[in-house]
Amino acid sequence: MTATAGPESGPTGQDDDRSGRDVARERERGREQEAVEERYARLDDLRRRTRAELVAVRRSETTGTHQNRSERDSFAALHEGRLAQLDAVEERLVFGRLDLAGGERRYVGRLGLADTAQQRLLVDWRAPASEPFYQATAARPGGVVRRRHLSLRGRSVAGLEDDVLDAEGLDDLGLEALGGEGALMSALGAQRTGRMGDIVATIQAEQDAVIRSPADGVLVVQGGPGTGKTAVALHRAAFLLYAHRERLARSGVLVVGPSPVFLRYIEQVLPSLGENGVLTSTAGQLFPGVDARGSDRPAVARLKGDDRWLEVLRRAVAARQRVPDRPQRLDVEGTAVTLTPRAVARARERARGSGQPHNEARTGFVRDLLLHLADGVARAQGNRLEPEDRPGVVADLRASRDVRVALNLAWMPMSPQKLVGDLLTRPHRLAEAAEGLLSAPEQALLLREPGDPWTVDDVPLLDEAAEVLGDDETGASAAAARADDRRREEALSLAREVLDSGAGETSVEGFTASAEDLAARQSDLGGPALTVAERAAQDRTWTFGHVVVDEAQELSPMMWRLLVRRCPSRSMTVVGDLAQTRSAAGASTWGEVLDPFAAGRWRLEELTVNYRTPRQVMDAAAAVLAVTGAPGRTPTSVREGEGPPVLTTLPDAAAERATLLRAVVEDEAARTAGGRLAVLVPPGRLAEAAGALGEAVAGPDGTPLPVATGAGALDRPVAVMTVAESKGLEFDAVVLLDPAGVLGGPDAEDPRAGAHDLYVAMTRPTQRLHVLAPAGLDADLAGAITGAA
Ligand SMILES: Nc1ncnc2c1ncn2[C@@H]1O[C@H](COP(=O)(O)OP(=O)(O)OP(=O)(O)O)[C@@H](O)[C@H]1O
């Protein structure tokens, strides 16, 4: 049962004419306004106090020791962080109220607040006490009599909506079910802004169960388009940070998304939930120092994602540990010594036997051979090598060019970039490592020009190579990492002492300064105060407390290996939709992907309701999947739309095509006045579409509406992008150019990929889809698009 009291149901005439019910509603809204104001007043008060504390810390004298300065900077950073969190919750601070059977009333909001007497004013949406707000139903009220949604405009209560879960338990108010637009519907009907927003006020029960699911193991969230997978994954990250703050503040949370544009699309969600410390990254950015943007052709991507590469890389490294064919004469300060294959083979055997990675094992290899050669130098000079002479002789050997060259040829120190780069650009290197593993045609496919940029598909190869190679600074960075760990431990115990003294108190739930927060800052002794996320981004060996992977169906087995290295605890949230897989290296079942590294440790949850795409458009997208031979389970749309997609035939002549495209875009822009529009195209049509639309189209009132492609597209009213770029995004209206072109590419060998691309494109709009197709479109496909099939 739902009752609403919003502006539309408010007073319409003179006071005298108001029905008793209107008066009751108005009075109720007034009461809620008071409650809301009290909570904002408390928030303002906390902001003032935090600001004052920050000023005091900044002004405080320190005795000037390194430790004191560091402590002061850490507290300053902590207050700054808290202030940012308090500022982030301004909008819709309070959005719900629970009335419980025993008479208790709980306000639910974006953070927890208590008054000066420690009486609870507001419950954080993530706290257990808020759970019934999302979970209670009429069938299972769980002690909830009424759930109230409050909608705010600024700090004013603009509307109330009640779910009466237990009419028996209700008191005097007696709001009747008006069945008006609920909070959810109005959230879904709102115009898009180009950026994803949070959904705290309207999380649905099936989504809430996923968000609050325990942190351990791999949670796979499978769901069709628009089911809120991305929203749920981000809210889950915020929930886990709340529920496990101690642990996660120190180890960090990583969110992996499909593209830089997507990361920009979601960038405001976590900060708006008061969480700033999460590292977001594309798969192409997961190897520090490399920012891979492009992908390989599907056949190449599939090959690079294959775990045969483990053996290829192992062999490629082994091939850099070489025993010379014959003895070599080396000049050491005028003395000739001989390096025999036997000596090299023995040293290699021992170094390999150490079990260390290549670059680290090299230290032992070199030491062995230098000692061996030192004996040779002494013998050549007719002496016995005395222990005290050894360092001098070894220094001579190290200075000898001949010795350096010989040792490098036998065991070359190597970077991952060099190892993988050589394999991809030098046929003989690849052949030597891939013999019997990759066929000659496969090897030919992999080869590319030297100097070509790294691709996303190269990233897991680089990371795997780094594992086999180890540190190339002969252990220097490992030692640095160990020193770092030591500093972190020291900082942690210092932070605990500081907190034990009571200096970190706050009355904001969930914002309690933890020793880990402080330690995370303080361990940057001497350097700029890096956050955990910033440090993690620079460190390939960083292990995160939790990893969230969006669009996970696209990742190859090699990429999964990389992710597991970043999160050995396997506390992961993996969201995706197998029906949207476009990468040739991606998944067709979750078991196939997850069993190799998390057998028995992953669980599947499904989301079944599409909150984005209107019903008629979703039906058409499902029909398209069916006729293109890639049927899959599709979600049910929660909203009715204006109608099925419109299909218009494109003329043959280029100029006429451009005119039509422009006219359609201008018409759609007029209908979505102020909203966001996307023109989605197969890659081969990007230039044509961008050229036809130019820098702007005419807006409804004649003002120009800017058009953009690429990274800037999200901020413009009209975005022109390929279907691949539109993954995970949404727009009020979509104009889809050339569906057969989308279907025919990108991978002729894998028709599934084209069908899934078309499905992705068709499910991006929240309002309308207009398809423009060249003449001769397959009749079944046309029927499916227009809903006639
Ligand atoms: N409970 C909710 N309340 C309000 N809006 C919601 C809710 N759940 C989802 N949405 C909205 O629905 C839209 C789709 O959500 P989201 O992008 O997370 O879906 P998705 O499953 O990741 O989609 P896709 O796989 O197609 O990219 C977003 O605008 C999101 O804000």
Q: How large is the ipTM?
A: 0.99
| Tokens, residue 506 | 């706050």
Q: Quote the pLDDT of residue 749.
A: 58
Q: Quote the pLDDT of residue 17.
A: 53
Gap from CA of 641 to ligand 1 centroid (Å) = 16
The CB of 763 under 6 Å from ligand 1? The reply is: yes
Ranges of beta strands (E only) in 243-346 are 253-257, 279-282, 328-332, 335-339
**Per-residue pLDDT at 179 exceeds 70:** no
Q: Which residue has the higher pLDDT, 588 or 83?
A: 83
At 47, the pLDDT band (50, 70, 90 cuts) reads: very high
The preferred substitution site among 229, 578, 714 for testing ligand 1, maximizing ligand atoms within 8 Å of CB, is 229
How high does pLDDT run on average in the chain? 85
**First-residue to last-residue Cα distance in the chain:** 37
Question: Which of 23-37, 704-718, 772-786 bottoms out in mean pLDDT, i.e. has the lowest?
Answer: 704-718
- The pLDDT of 530-556, averaged and rounded, is 86
Q: Quote the pLDDT of residue 31.
A: 94
Q: Which residue has the higher pLDDT, 387 or 233?
A: 233
Tell me, rounded to whole angstroms, the distance of Cα 55 from its chain centroid.
35
Helix axes 390-399, 401-410, angle to 10 degrees: 80
Say which amino acid occupies 478: A
DSSP conformation letters of 184-243: HHHHHHSPP-SS----GGG--HHHHHHHTS-SSSEEEEEE-TTSSHHHHHHHHHHHHHHH
**Per-residue pLDDT at 549 exceeds 80:** yes
Gap from CA of 654 to ligand 1 centroid (Å) = 37
Q: Quote the pLDDT of residue 138.
A: 77
CA-closest residue to ligand 1 atom 30? 228
Tell me the per-residue pLDDT of 335-359, one tens digit each, with 9 for 90 and over. Answer: 899 999 999 999 999 999 999 999 9
State the virtual CA torsion across 291, 296, 300, 301 in degrees, nearest 10: 60
Q: Quote the pLDDT of residue 322.
A: 94
Question: Which of 95-109, 395-409, 698-712 bottoms out in mean pLDDT, i.e. has the lowest?
Answer: 698-712
Q: Quote the pLDDT of residue 99.
A: 94
Q: Quote the pLDDT of residue 578.
A: 81
| Tokens, residue 288 | 């520090």
The CB of 736 under 6 Å from ligand 1? The reply is: no
Q: Quote the pLDDT of residue 173.
A: 45
**Per-residue pLDDT at 392 exceeds 60:** yes
- Count other C-beta atoms under 10 Å from residue 605's C-beta: 17
Question: Which of 375-384, 422-431, 528-537, 726-735 bottoms out in mean pLDDT, i.e. has the lowest?
Answer: 528-537
Range 15-21, long-range pairs (CB < 8 A, 24+ positions) = 21/175, 21/176
227 marked ligand binding residue: yes
d(CA 161, CA 4): 4
Q: Quote the pLDDT of residue 592.
A: 86
At 561, the pLDDT band (50, 70, 90 cuts) reads: very high
On the CB side of 324, CA atoms within 13 Å amount to 16
783 marked ligand binding residue: no
The CB of 203 under 6 Å from ligand 1? The reply is: yes
- The pLDDT of 273-287, averaged and rounded, is 89
**Per-residue pLDDT at 285 exceeds 80:** yes
CB-based contacts of 63, cutoff 8 Å, min separation 6: none
Question: Which of 17-26, 33-42, 63-72, 120-129 bottoms out in mean pLDDT, i.e. has the lowest?
Answer: 63-72
| Most confident stretch, 1-15, 73-87, 118-132 | 118-132
**Per-residue pLDDT at 378 exceeds 70:** yes
At 253, the pLDDT band (50, 70, 90 cuts) reads: very high
d(CA 463, CA 461): 5
**Per-residue pLDDT at 294 exceeds 90:** no
- The pLDDT of 532-547, averaged and rounded, is 86
d(CA 566, CA 569): 9
The CB of 553 under 6 Å from ligand 1? The reply is: no
At 192, the pLDDT band (50, 70, 90 cuts) reads: confident
**Per-residue pLDDT at 430 exceeds 90:** yes
Residue with structure tokens 């190269």?
458
**What is the atom index within ligand 1 of the atom nearest the CA of 207?**
1
Say which amino acid occupies 743: L
**Per-residue pLDDT at 583 exceeds 80:** no
Gap from CA of 589 to ligand 1 centroid (Å) = 23
Q: Which residue has the higher pLDDT, 752 or 292?
A: 292
Q: Quote the pLDDT of residue 389.
A: 82
Q: Quote the pLDDT of residue 291.
A: 92
Run of H or E including 289: none
CB-based contacts of 13, cutoff 8 Å, min separation 6: none
189 marked ligand binding residue: no
Q: Quote the pLDDT of residue 780.
A: 92
Q: What are phi and psi of 513, to 5 degrees?
A: -60, 120
pTM for this predicted structure: 0.85
Q: Quote the pLDDT of residue 8.
A: 41
CA-closest residue to ligand 1 atom 18? 228
Question: Which of 62-66, 416-420, 596-600, 730-734 bottoms out in mean pLDDT, i.e. has the lowest?
Answer: 62-66
- The pLDDT of 485-501, averaged and rounded, is 52
At 541, the pLDDT band (50, 70, 90 cuts) reads: confident
The preferred substitution site among 639, 730, 734, 757 for testing ligand 1, maximizing ligand atoms within 8 Å of CB, is 730
Gap from CA of 281 to ligand 1 centroid (Å) = 20
**Residue % of the chain over a pLDDT of 90:** 53
- The pLDDT of 142-156, averaged and rounded, is 91
Q: Quote the pLDDT of residue 509.
A: 43
